[in-house]
């Protein structure tokens, strides 16, 4: 199993540009989520999905869009990049939404918006 | 709402020293508690977990006990190694009255550096 994969590893955008961060998992997990990690802030939940076709907002959803057309993929779209979106983004998945199940994290995408 | 407070770092220790990283939480219901570790340049990985009061999670020499009376889940290791240098995150996942779980809530992380 490859686990959770994310692409790209690094990305530089100009303000106003849009892009999609890719996330895929091959563990047949129902639950997938996107976090952003900023210095001194821990990880904050952006969006999550409890299964194909179902998504919901997390703590910091503004400026981001998600969709879940398959169990495996959960892309995160930045609609119009802003410098405040400079961060490291992590995708995670778990067997289901029960909190006792381990979340598996991808290696992250480091995004810089200039 | 649910929240996690962990000691601020950075923490610098010599090899074979004793490690404690404090973590306290605020939650309704019966949360599950976790410690995740992030090695440089990598994503987070689960270190240990506890799902009910008085449970002790342990892994790789690390331990943490779920203390409901003090709402704490402190991470300890008796003898740290250089390879333990990483950022450690305390997290909780609550349980709603209707069953199922709420989302993971993370502390801000504590950076540990172990010197030889």
Calculate how close chain B gets to A42, using CA atoms only, in Å.
4
User: Does residue B100 register a pLDDT over 80?
Assistant: no
- B99 is written with which tokens? 């069953």
Residues of B in contact with A103 (CB under 8 A): 44, 46, 104
Higher confidence at residue A42 or residue B94? A42
pLDDT at B95: 55
pLDDT at B99: 43
Average pLDDT of A54-83? Answer: 95
Rounded distance between C-alpha atoms, residue B1 and residue B105, angstroms: 10
β-strands B44-50, B32-38: how paired?
antiparallel
Are A43 and B31 in contact (CB < 8 Å)?
no
Are A41 and B51 in contact (CB < 8 Å)?
no
Q: Determine phi and psi for B83, rounding to 5 degrees.
A: -70, -10
Q: Considering chain B, what is the average pLDDT of its residues?
A: 90
- Pick from B9, B43, B57 the residue to mutate for testing the A interface (most A CBs within 10 Å): B43
Q: What is the pLDDT of residues B18-68, one digit of tens each?
A: 999 999 999 887 888 999 999 988 899 999 999 889 999 999 999 999 999
Calculate how close chain A gets to B107, using CA atoms only, in Å.
6
Which of the four pLDDT bands, split at 50, 70 and 90, describes residue B2?
A: confident
Q: How many residues does chain B have?
A: 116
Q: How many residues does chain A have?
A: 114
- A39 is written with which tokens? 């210095």
Average pLDDT of B105-113? Answer: 94
Average pLDDT of A102-111? Answer: 93
Calculate how close chain A gets to B15, using CA atoms only, in Å.
26
User: Does residue A111 register a pLDDT over 80?
Assistant: yes
pLDDT at B17: 98
User: Does residue B97 register a pLDDT over 70?
Assistant: no
| Closest residue on chain A to B10 (Cα) | A40
Sign of CA dihedral A107, A112, B3, B6: positive
User: Does residue B101 register a pLDDT over 80?
Assistant: no
Rounded distance between C-alpha atoms, residue A44 and residue B42, angstroms: 17
User: Does residue A40 register a pLDDT over 90?
Assistant: no
- Measured between CB atoms, which of B32, B44, B107 is closest to A100? B32
pLDDT at B98: 41
């Amino acid at each position: 199993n490859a686990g959770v994969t994310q692409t790209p590893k690094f990305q530089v955008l100009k303000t106003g540009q849009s892009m999609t961060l890719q996330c895929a998992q091959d563990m047949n997990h129902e639950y997938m989520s996107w976090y952003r990690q900023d210095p001194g802030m821990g990880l904050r939940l952006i969006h999550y999905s409890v299964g194909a076709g179902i998504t919901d907002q997390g703590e910091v959803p503004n400026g981001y869009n998600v969709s879940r057309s398959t169990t495996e993929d959960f892309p995160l779209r930045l609609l119009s990049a802003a410098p405040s979106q400079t961060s490291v983004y992590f995708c995670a998945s778990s067997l289901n939404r029960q909190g006792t199940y381990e979340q598996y994290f991808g290696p992250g995408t480091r995004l810089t918006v200039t | 709402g649910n929240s996690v407070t962990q000691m601020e770092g950075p923490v610098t220790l010599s090899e074979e020293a004793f490690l404690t990283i404090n973590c306290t939480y605020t939650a309704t219901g019966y949360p599950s508690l976790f410690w995740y570790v992030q090695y440089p340049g990598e994503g987070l990985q689960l270190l240990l977990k506890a799902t009910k009061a008085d449970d002790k999670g342990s892994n790789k020499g690390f331990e943490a006990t779920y203390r409901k009376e003090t709402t704490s889940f402190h991470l300890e290791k008796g003898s740290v190694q250089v390879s333990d240098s990483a950022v450690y995150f305390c997290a909780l996942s609550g349980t709603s009255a209707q069953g199922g779980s709420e989302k993971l809530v993370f502390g801000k992380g504590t950076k540990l550096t172990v010197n030889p």
